[in-house]
A and B are shown apart, each in its own frame.
Chain A
């Protein structure tokens, strides 16, 4: 009898202490930067307000190998901070068991300002984007349910989900929300160029950089528009077709012939650091990219009319000085504060 009573009292006490631990959820809001020179934010922060604990959890998940089948390939494997969160020096990324993907990893920056993701727009909500790499056989090769059970067995996550979310559940909803919170905060808006347009200290551009900006405005901003440097449309910029990959780009989504070989116009922020270039990483330098625009376009059947010259050939005519100065300008988009921001760093 006595024993039983003791057990019951024990149980009551335990259930009390357990519930008081659960009160660990104290949301400390984090402000998402809204740079004055950016277009409107797209991500709906009301549905997933960023908190310190949620951001911290998201960062941990971003650097967490357990999100992959062999526990060794975190998101950061292909998205490294020093290279604007791209897969450094990889034309196309490789992941699980050295499975080789087909595309060049995109930078993770300013995603809260975009409505569609990936080179072909296959991801239409930032929260759901991670499902693709997690479940892709050549990237992380996992399933959501298995990731969730691995996280459930981990003491750190047991505590951190409690701190980050009111219901404290370790489930796909909260895992994806945390990843989004981390990615939403990754805003690159403090390059020399930004300081120049916002008239801030440190924002003085050299003559060559200014000439580059002028040429860029005249020849590139029909696609690389706004201070995000993308109009977020899908375009065919006349790259020759790589028969090994035969990546049809946007066509893969709707199987619409008008979409053949169209890819999302990439942002050019931190482009100096995110080489190699294009969806398949075919160009190793910015010089090669500008050479391509001047003289390398091929008629793959669906090239954007913007590139048509009066004589019927394709391309954007650029003098040597224009190429040099555009590159000088593009380098002013490098945001060292972002690339060295400890908040996003693994350690």
Chain B
């Protein structure tokens, strides 16, 4: 059976590729391609490096040894206003700085995207209420992955949307623990946020091309953007607090920007 399917797929590929090559007019119908989103963490105008101290504008500083967040519901809008939503079951990723390449980029590869000229990307940070309400349904191995990555709480049910672990220093304390493990708590506290980024130039998704979107995440903005927070005032330990977590969630949603696009 499998061999049959495979041969059929091969045949289909051959047919498809022979068709598309001798056609000058661009017909995108039925075409799909891959796309890579590169997440690149930084702090202000510096690249992010583990165990390196970064300053906040209030005089506090921080160093991190863990830096992870969950990205989900990635979708693209094309130049005609159509939205392509990546299939829901695969549309959740843990971006872990430790998985970065030498350039500090964490690659998220999306397959079989409808061919189109995309002008905007939207994604969520964390797990939205609808996905959480599915429980185990459609999660496949994601729960195990999240557990292995330390992104699953064990004292409550739920995901840590972002996880920053390290230390902070102020004028009065040095290297105190800094832990942001923030997520939603059931329906009572919803910290899922989305960010919409327009693309500086159109991303062309085609059959044999793999364009790349390079996204910068400015970690500093988690602490100072919509609201500036002081570690000394309790923002050194942010877990499920109903006041603190929405502040951090709103800040984190502003971290991302598209640096550039490569059309391969």
Minimal beta-carbon separation of B9 from chain A (angstroms) = 16
User: A176 interface residue, CB < 8 Å from B?
Assistant: yes
**Number of residues on chain B facing chain A (CB within 8 A):** 32
Contact of B137 among A121, A124, A135, A177 (CB under 8 A): A177
User: A300 interface residue, CB < 8 Å from B?
Assistant: no
Minimal beta-carbon separation of A161 from chain B (angstroms) = 13
Q: Mask for A131-174, Cβ within 8 A of B = 1, else 0?
A: 11001100000011100100000000000000000000101111
User: B152 interface residue, CB < 8 Å from A?
Assistant: yes
In whole angstroms, how far apart are the Cα atoms of A314 and B1 in the complex? 73
Minimal beta-carbon separation of A24 from chain B (angstroms) = 16
Are B136 and A177 in touch, CB under 8 angstroms?
yes
Other than A173-B141, A177-B137, give 11 A-B pairs with Cβ distance below 8 A: A44-B134, A47-B135, A124-B185, A127-B136, A128-B158, A171-B144, A172-B136, A180-B135, A254-B189, A254-B241, A254-B242
User: B91 interface residue, CB < 8 Å from A?
Assistant: no
Q: Mask for A113-134, Cβ within 8 A of B = 1, else 0?
A: 0011000011111111101100
Contact of A128 among B2, B136, B240 (CB under 8 A): B136
Contact of A143 among B134, B147, B156, B188 (CB under 8 A): B147
Name the prevailing secondary structure of the B interface residues. loop
User: B186 interface residue, CB < 8 Å from A?
Assistant: yes
User: A12 interface residue, CB < 8 Å from B?
Assistant: yes
**Number of residues on chain A facing chain B (CB within 8 A):** 38
User: A255 interface residue, CB < 8 Å from B?
Assistant: yes
Are B157 and A173 in touch, CB under 8 angstroms?
no
In whole angstroms, how far apart are the Cα atoms of A174 and B142 in the complex? 12
Q: A132-B154, A176-B135 are in contact. Are A116 and B3 (CB under 8 A)?
A: no
In whole angstroms, how far apart are the Cα atoms of A145 and B133 in the complex? 22
In whole angstroms, how far apart are the Cα atoms of A254 and B241 in the complex? 5
User: A36 interface residue, CB < 8 Å from B?
Assistant: no
Are A15 and B140 in touch, CB under 8 angstroms?
no
Chain A hits for B136, CB < 8 A? 48, 127-128, 172-174, 176-177, 180
In whole angstroms, how far apart are the Cα atoms of A188 and B153 in the complex? 31
In whole angstroms, how far apart are the Cα atoms of A255 and B3 in the complex? 58
**Smallest CB gap from A46: residue in B:** B137
In whole angstroms, how far apart are the Cα atoms of A47 and B132 in the complex? 12
Binding site for B on A (CB under 8 A): 12, 15-16, 19, 44, 47-48, 115-116, 121-129, 131-132, 135-136, 143-145, 148, 169, 171-174, 176-177, 180, 253-256
Are B154 and A135 in touch, CB under 8 angstroms?
yes
Chain B hits for A254, CB < 8 A? 185, 188-189, 240-242
In whole angstroms, how far apart are the Cα atoms of A177 and B1 in the complex? 29
Are B144 and A19 in touch, CB under 8 angstroms?
no
Contact of A129 among B134, B140, B148, B157 (CB under 8 A): B157
Are A19 and B1 in touch, CB under 8 angstroms?
yes
Are A169 and B140 in touch, CB under 8 angstroms?
yes
Binding site for A on B (CB under 8 A): 1-3, 132-144, 147-148, 152, 154-158, 185-189, 240-242
Jot down 24 A-B pairs with beta carbons below 8 A, ordered by A: A12-B3, A15-B1, A47-B135, A47-B138, A48-B137, A122-B155, A122-B156, A124-B187, A125-B133, A125-B186, A128-B135, A128-B143, A132-B156, A132-B157, A135-B154, A136-B154, A136-B155, A143-B147, A171-B141, A171-B144, A172-B136, A172-B143, A177-B137, A254-B189
**Smallest CB gap from A15: residue in B:** B2
Contact of A131 among B137, B138, B157, B186 (CB under 8 A): B157
Chain B hits for A125, CB < 8 A? 132-133, 135, 157, 186
Closest 3 CB pairs of A and B: A124-B186, A127-B135, A128-B157
Q: Which of A44, A180, A253 has the most B CB atoms < 10 Å from its CB?
A: A253
Contact of A48 among B135, B141, B143 (CB under 8 A): B135
Contact of B154 among A16, A124, A131 (CB under 8 A): A131
Are B155 and A173 in touch, CB under 8 angstroms?
no
In whole angstroms, how far apart are the Cα atoms of A254 and B242 in the complex? 6
In whole angstroms, how far apart are the Cα atoms of A256 and B187 in the complex? 16
Chain B hits for A145, CB < 8 A? 144, 147-148
Minimal beta-carbon separation of A153 from chain B (angstroms) = 16
Are B143 and A176 in touch, CB under 8 angstroms?
yes
In whole angstroms, how far apart are the Cα atoms of A241 and B246 in the complex? 31
Q: A128-B158, A132-B156, A256-B242 are in contact. Are A172 and B3 (CB under 8 A)?
A: no
**Smallest CB gap from B138: residue in A:** A173
**Smallest CB gap from A133: residue in B:** B154
Minimal beta-carbon separation of A145 from chain B (angstroms) = 5
In whole angstroms, how far apart are the Cα atoms of A143 and B149 in the complex? 12
Chain A hits for B133, CB < 8 A? 44, 125
